[in-house]
Structure formats: structure tokens, C-alpha cells
Chains A and B, each alone.
Chain A
């Protein structure tokens, strides 16, 4: 009988104890994944809070604690950041009564915030990059093995010779505007590459080249490129480093300067290849007003309509990047271009598959969208 009573009491105590744990609520602390360390995710869920009670969360490190949260939220999430001290962090959630006494206390941790070696959120970007890299290098290797690749006619690039020839016949200068951004912009690099080809032709035809630039580093790079082109064309004597001159970094100051050059010197051919913003139409219209043949190219979608409306020929988006391969005709450049096209085909295929999956199987679509949204 005594044994039975004892057993009943024990079971009852265990039952009430469990119930008490369930009714206490939950409080967790976890290291934030795929970050540079120093962050801990906290999450809490309490069954209830009296009106006079408040919730406080403390961070505990090396025996000392500091309050980090004080509110009345029954549930919530918080990321504790900038945890720069080496070691584990613990957290304590306390439900405080009005009189300052502790009604409830839940501990979480210790958690060691660590920096990840690799951000898995971005794995898909790495995969895409590897595929694109492989495609481009594969076709470069193929071109070096002797496989020939053809490129469709790009009217803007076909007309470069015509434009330079026209300027030479008229005895007027050629104006080249490499955009308004600095050399760290790939469009500017693409523009400078085309400048090299244009300079080879102006050297050969003995035409005057004028390259006003908006950035000092672009000036230095463009000078090297043009100098090399004139050397290769056998005309080092015709090169004058003041062909490439700096105007100003200021966007509309630069536009004013270039417009002034157009109005005064009346170039017969104008090349505008690089990054442009709002000044694109001002440049193009001024060039149109002096009757020059204009070849423009940019990858800025918002400026393309202005160039198309006002210029004779326009390189649209990636045609600007293809120009170096087109003009040089070198096999490995054409191979890289072929690889770029295959990469585009790969992306188009993924887009179509993703769209079809999203339409037919919404949960799959939601998962795909989630994967790309979390790249962050």
C-alpha cells in the first residue's frame, strides 16, 4: 500500500513537472548560419504574460550580463550582432514582475558564433558562375584547336571603317567619347578596347582623333591604348598624347565640354561607347545637329532608346562587349563570344523551365523563388 501511494505521488509529480515545463515557454539561441560570425539568432515563445509583467533578455559573457531586449512580446525573434569577443555567449530570458522580482527565467546557450567558410545561400550563384566559366573557356580552347566560329554582322561595327573614311575625306576630326564612368566599369573597358581599334584605323588613314575623357585613370589607360595602336600601325610620329585629354569629373560639365568640342570643331564621325546616363541624348542630339555620323553603344537600358533615336548606328547591350572580338577577329575572342552565347542559351533554358514549373507546380515555383530570394 505504501509502495502504491509512493508510486502514485512520483508519477503525479513527474506529470506536473512536465506540464510546468510545457507551460514555461521556449527560448532558443542559435549561431546565425553563413555569416561572418558574431551573430546569434534568438527566438522565444511564451504562453502568457500578465499586464504588469515585462520580458527582458540578457546576454551573458564571461560571467557578466547585459540587457539587450526589453518588451512585452509573447513571441519574437531577434538577431544579436557584433559579438566580437572570442568565446561562447549565453542568454537568459526573464519575465519581470512590476516590483522587480523574477517571475520566470529560461536560459539558452552557450552558443559559439562562428564565421562560415562558405555561404550556402550563394551556392547557386557559384554553380552558375562555374558553368558560365566552363562554357567560355571550353570554346576558347576549341578555337585554339582550330575550330572556326562565325559572328553575325553587327551594322554598327561594320560602319566603323565607313565613318573613319568619311572623316578622313572631309578633313575633319573624329571624336571618341568613352563614357562618363571610371576604368573600374567594364563598359568603359569595352569602350577603350574599341578605341584601340579605332585608333589603329585613324593612324592608318592619318585622321585626327580627339578623345575627351571624364576620369583621369581613363585618360591614362586610353593614352596607353592609343599609343600602342599608333605604334602597331607604324605611325608613332602621328601620336600626340594630348589627343586624349581630361575635361572634368562632373557629369554635365563634361557634357558641356564635349558639346562645345562638337560645336566648334565639327567632327565628321562621333563614337560614343561606354557608360552614359542622362547626358546621352544631349550628346547624341548635338552630334546630329552638326551632321556627323554617329556610332553609339552602351549597356545602360535606359539610355539605349535615346541613342537609337538620335544616332546612325547603335550597339545594344552585349554587342558593346562583343566589339573587341568582332573588330579583331581573333579566334580565341570569337571562341569566348561563342561561350557567352552558350551561357545565354543555358540561362534561357533555366528561365523557361523555372517559369513552366512555377505555373504547373506552384510549391516548386515558390521553392525556386525562395532559393533566389535568399541569396542576399
Chain B
């Protein structure tokens, strides 16, 4: 087999190795990169920014640790934004591991920014049922969540003094890795109860939600690490995503190079074959 033929059928393990190096090395240097914002991410930022200070926001953590790398940075960015605007946050999850991931963020943020549990934020925990849970929230938050994650009745939490139903929330942010997720929040919270919904999804799922954004059902959307980096740039607080953009830069460049190599070898080999046939 000639070198070109070997290159045309490059062993995937070599591809994996090069991609691994391209991603790992930039992460060692931790250089944050500011990215240009797209309108779709800007809209969610402006939606939260425009709310009066002290508004109550619902943050639904509808993902599990497998998509932590993409969704946790955007969760942290949105939480930081809410803290900057002194909004009150109510966390919950339609996926079992979601609330624990939210707890992980607040375990770090609460002491740093002197946030008081029950006043500035609350974690309601997980409830099975997906769309049924969201519908119940429309009648009363206490219906699906009589207590918070720690067993405290909602009436004992000051954050719920004026917040009784889903309609009393100023905004819903759903960080979603699949089903149930942002689609159900749009169907119920936005379409039925007219509460603005924005969110974040993995990069792979983002294209499917552009239709919802275009129709106005979704206020804004962060897609993958890029979306998280854009949000971090908007709130002027570089985080995991901004550092990760460097690695993504190199990974995309390597993939483009591989595609160029693959097509070049294919064309050269094709020409050689045609020439040898002519002879």
C-alpha cells in the first residue's frame, strides 16, 4: 500500500490521538477566548437583563452528568447573571440528577456571594413526570413540590411568599439534554401560561430548536460550549466555556485538516487510477 493509500484509509486511532492532543494541550494553558455573540444567545441574555431586579427565575436542570461538559458552563453563566441582577432563583429538575448538579453550583456560589437559602435561592429537587409536572406547576408550585429538596415546606421559604404558580415566575431557563426538557417547557410554560422560556441545549440538539426560536416560542437559546462561551462574554465573566473555546478551535481545525487530507488523497488516487486505465 502506498503512502497516499494509507493516508486515504487512515487508521481511526491516529485520528483519535491527534484530536486528543488538539483538545488536551490548549486546556493545559487555560487561555480564555471572547467570542462574538449571536442574536439567539443575545436574546436570552437581554431577556434576563431586562427583568426588574429581584425577579424570580425558574431554572430547570434537565440533564445528567454525561452532558455536564456542555451544559454546566451555561448553567453557571446564567446563575452568575442572575446573581449580578439580584434575581431570586428556584432550581428544579425533570431529570433525576439535575438538582444535584444545581446543588453543586450553589455550594460554590452561595458562600462566595453571600446568598441565603430560602431567600435568594431554593432547590425544589427532582420530580418524575416531565410535562405533567410542568402542567401542575401552572396550578400551584406546591402540587408537585410540597417541600423543597431538603423536606422544608414551601410556606416556610420566604422566596415563595409571592410566588405561588408558574405564572408568577418572570422567566424560565431550561438547561436540557433531551426528553423531558426545553421542548416541554415551551409547550406548557410559554404556550399555555405565557411565561418567557429560554434555555440551553447540547450543540447536537441546538439545530432542532431554531424553529421554536424563529416562531417566538423560545426567547433565546445557547447551543453547546459556544453558546455558553457567548453568554460568559456577555456577562463579562470568563468561565469553563471561554477556556474551552481554545480547545474547540483546535479540534475544529484538525477536523477540517483531516477532511482536506481525505479529499486530496481521494482525488489524487482517483486521477492516478484514471491515468493507469488510459494507458
A and B touch in the complex (CB under 8 A): yes
Which residues does A use to contact B, with CB under 8 Å? 81-82, 181, 250-252, 277-278, 289, 300-303, 375-376
Q: Report A-chain residues with C-beta under 8 Å of the C-beta of B177.
A: 277-278
Q: Does B123 contact A (CB under 8 A)?
A: no
> Complex: how many Å from CA A240 to CA B96?
34
Q: Which A residue's beta carbon lies closest to that of B207?
A: A302
| B67 with A289: CB separation less than 8 A | no
Closest 3 CB pairs of A and B: A252-B66, A302-B208, A277-B178
Residues A278 and B204 in contact in the complex (CB < 8 Å), given A181-B179, A251-B178, A252-B66: yes
Interface of A is mostly: loop
* Residue interface mask B198-218, A partner, CB < 8 A = 1: 000010110110000000000
| Chain A neighbourhood of B204, CB < 8 A | 277-278, 302-303
- Name the one of B12, B140, B207, B208 contacting A289, with C-beta atoms under 8 angstroms: B12
Of the candidates A82, A181, A252, A303, which one forms a contact with B139 in the assembled complex, judged by CB atoms under 8 Å apart?
Answer: A82
B64: interface (CB < 8 Å): yes
Partner of B202 from the list A278, A301, A376 (CB cut-off 8 Å) is: A278
CB-CB < 8 A to A302: which residues of B?
204-205, 207-208
In contact, A376 and B191 (Cβ under 8 angstroms): yes
- A81 contacts across to B, CB distance below 8 A: 165, 167
CA distance A77 to B202 in the complex (A): 38
Contact partners of B64 in chain A: CB under 8 A: 250-251
- What are 19 sample pairs from A and B whose C-beta atoms fall under 8 A apart? A81-B165, A82-B140, A181-B179, A250-B64, A251-B64, A251-B178, A277-B204, A277-B205, A278-B177, A278-B202, A278-B205, A289-B12, A300-B208, A301-B207, A301-B208, A302-B205, A302-B207, A302-B208, A376-B192
Q: Give A301 to B167 CA distance when docked, in angstroms.
A: 32
Interface centre among B64, B66, B191 (most CB of A within 10 A): B66
Interchain pairs with CB closer than 8 A, number:
35
Q: Chain B nearest CB: distance from A304 CB in Å?
A: 11
Residue of B nearest to A180 (CB): B178
B209 to chain A, nearest CB (A): 9
A251 and B66 form a contact (CB under 8 A): yes
- Once bound together, how far apart are the Cα atoms of A250 and B66, in whole Å? 10
A299 CB, min distance to chain B CBs, angstroms: 11
Q: Give a binary string over B2-37; 1 marks a CB under 8 Å from any A CB, 0 the rest.
A: 000000000010000000000000000000000000
Kindly list chain A residues whose C-beta atoms are within 8 Å of the C-beta of B178: 251, 277-278
Which chain A positions have C-beta within 8 A of B167?
Answer: 81
Most buried by B among A278, A300, A301, A303: A278
- B residues adjacent to A (C-beta < 8 A): 12, 64, 66-67, 139-140, 165, 167, 177-179, 191-192, 202, 204-205, 207-208
**Shortest Cβ distance from A79 into chain B, in angstroms?**
9
Is there an interface contact between A278 and B67, defined as CB atoms closer than 8 Å?
yes
| Inter-chain contacts of B139 with A (CB < 8 A) | 82
Cα distance A289–B11 in the bound complex, in angstroms = 10
How far, in Å, is B14 (CB) from chain A's closest CB?
14
Chain A: which residue is nearest B190 at the CB level? A376
CB distance from B101 to the nearest CB of A (A): 15
CB distance from A192 to the nearest CB of B (A): 18
A278 to B205, CA, bound (A): 8
A203 to B165, CA, bound (A): 56
Least CB separation from A303: chain B residue: B204
Give min CB distance, B184 to chain A, whole Å: 14
Q: Closest CB-CB distance, A41 to chain B, in whole Å?
A: 13
Instruction: Contacts A302-B205, A302-B207 known; list 19 others, CB within 8 Å.
Output: A81-B165, A82-B139, A82-B165, A250-B64, A251-B64, A277-B177, A277-B204, A277-B205, A278-B66, A278-B67, A278-B202, A278-B204, A278-B205, A289-B12, A301-B208, A302-B208, A303-B204, A375-B191, A376-B191
Residues of B contacting A301 in the complex (Cβ-Cβ under 8 angstroms): 207-208
- Across the interface, name the chain B residue whose C-beta is closest to A185: B179
Bound CA–CA A375/B204 (angstroms): 29
**Which residues of the partner chain B approach A250 to less than 8 Å between Cβ atoms?**
64
Residue of A whose beta carbon sits closest to that of B216:
A373
Give, as a whole number of angstroms, the nearest-CB distance from B222 to chain A. Answer: 16
Q: Which residues of B contact A300 (CB under 8 A)?
A: 208
A278-B202 Cα distance, complex, nearest whole Å: 9
CA distance A302 to B210 in the complex (A): 12
Closest to A182 in B: B179
| CA–CA, A21 and B261, complex, Å | 82
Q: Name the B residues within 8 Å of A289 (CB-CB).
A: 12
By beta carbon, the residue of chain A nearest B211 is: A301
Chain A residues closer than 8 Å to B205, beta-carbon distance: 277-278, 302
Measured between alpha carbons, how far is A278 from B204 in the docked complex, in Å?
A: 7
Query: Shortest beta-carbon distance, B203 to chain A, in Å?
Result: 10
Minimum CB–CB distance from A121 to chain B (whole Å) comes to 11
**Shortest distance between the CB of A72 and any CB in chain B (Å):** 15
> For the complex, what is the distance from the CA of A227 to the CA of B191, rounded to whole Å?
44
Bound: A303/B183 CA distance, A: 17
Distance to closest chain B CB from A290 (angstroms)? 12
Shortest beta-carbon distance from A152 to chain B in Å:
27
Min CB distance B211 to A, Å, is 10
> Once the chains are docked, how many angstroms separate the CA of A230 from the CA of B208?
39
CA–CA, A81 and B204, complex, Å:
39
A178 to B186, CA, bound (A): 28
Which B-chain residue is minimally distant from A84 (CB atoms)?
B139
Tell me how far the C-beta of A357 lies from the nearest C-beta in chain B, rounded to whole angstroms: 18
Q: Which residues of A contact B12 (CB under 8 A)?
A: 289
B166 CB to nearest A CB, Å: 11
Closest B residue, CB atoms, query A36: B139
Nearest opposing residue in chain A for B192, CB measure? A376
A300 to B202 Cα, complex, angstroms: 15
